[in-house]
Amino acid sequence: MSGTVHVVGAGLAGLSAAASLAEMGRHVVLHEAAKQAGGRCRSYYDPSLGLTIDNGNHLLLSGNTAALDFLTRIGAPQGVLDGPDEAAFDFADLRTGERWQLRPNAGRLPWWVLDASRRVPGSRASDYLAPLSLMMAASGKAPGRAGTIGEKMACEGLLYERLWHPVLLAALNTDPRESDVGLAATILKETLGAGGRACRPLVAVQGLSAAFVDPALSYLAARGGEIRYGRRLRALGISGGRIASLDFADGPTEIGPRDGVVLALPPWVAADLLPGLPAPQEFRSIVNAHFAGAPPAGAPLLLGVVGGLTEWLFAYPDRFSVTISGADHLLDTPREELARRIWDEIADLHGLARELPSWQIVKEKRATFAATPAEAARRAGATTVYTNLVLAGDWTATGLPSTIEGAIRSGTMAADALTRSGMCGRTQASSAA
């Protein structure tokens, strides 16, 4: 296990795998096709706004243990994630003007549903039992075999519209009615099912790169890791049941007999490199909108919005940012129209002038895999048929939908699989022996 591990792809999955391997004392070389690391979870300067923004808004919860452990491992500065001291989620209904705050209690016993001031207005305590049917339906079932949420719980009514739909849509990026029960059950079990201590919202207010990417790169460099940008992988050289070379656009890299490879690439790229690899084939979009200007005093860091186009409104120190999940229906809508409609809703929510500030619309066409039963069943595991190759990515079989937590968890799973099976030091002949 003394060889080099080549990690291809410097998104969060690749960074997670690289950091885990470096912590084990392995020499890591990280290859990235782009000119910067981070993939979908990075920050960049946008000249139209004059601000540094994230290429997608991401919310974490205090129960995302893999993500929080990763931040600790790489030595991320204190305060890179911000949020309330307790589990508290502000909501507003654009249709009625109502506002409320959902406040689960800290412990696992959910007594908060008995307190009308802590739950959704107009809902009853008994209404909150609906997700139990999802957990029961998913118990013991293989991925994709438990059916859809729409088959297991009523996707209608006040509480569904004001809580379950926005929460499940944000987590799955797929219409809950067609989404996989198993993925939803895992999310609910690890968050609301674990009590308020696991549900405190956390936001990277200084940017995703400051929180996750820059500290990870520094961590790797301090441990002798090499980071090579502009390296697009075109093919894998295979010999004797193992990866013998990585054929990059700028030339091949030989893989020694004790070397290992982690592919942390999008599913469509991995499937092209490895014909026959099980991988998701359908994807869902996300639309993010950014508006320059400091939010008014008292604006909640995160606001769930129902009854409009806006779904989740982030109030960063220098801008408002909006996330709209499952946004395939908006891909053909002109960017100017989206900016106008979304800003009008923000202005109504905060009593602001309707004059449109500097804005940016980011459409992510293939933001996540579709969280349907069919796509959940197509996810590959970390190991492959090749003795020195493992996979990482939020699309692999983590048990979670496509999230930061899933991406980071996949990286640690890949590193553990590579180490546990001794892939890095085995040739086909030694494996047969």
pLDDT tens digits along 99-151: 999 999 999 999 999 999 999 999 999 999 888 889 899 988 888 999 999 99
- Give the model's pLDDT for residue 426: 37
- Give the model's pLDDT for residue 132: 87
Where in 55-155 does DSSP place strands (E)?
59-61, 89-93, 99-102
Reply yes or no on whether the pLDDT at 309 is more than 80.
Answer: yes
pTM of the model: 0.94
pLDDT tens digits along 406-433: 999 999 999 999 998 665 433 332 232 2
Q: What percent of the chain has pLDDT over 70?
A: 97
Least confident of 14-28, 131-145, 395-409: 131-145
Reply yes or no on whether the pLDDT at 332 is more than 80.
Answer: yes
39 torsion bin: left (phi>0), alpha (psi -120 to 50), beta (else): left
∠408-411-413 over CA atoms, to 5°? 110
Task: Determine the average pLDDT of the residues in 42-63.
Answer: 95
Residue with tokens 């690391």: 37
pLDDT tens digits along 152-195: 999 999 999 999 999 999 999 999 999 999 999 999 999 989 99
- Give the model's pLDDT for residue 131: 85
- Give the model's pLDDT for residue 421: 66
Q: How far apart are CA 26 and CA 4, in angstroms?
A: 7
The closest alpha carbon to 12, from 70, 83, 72, belongs to 70
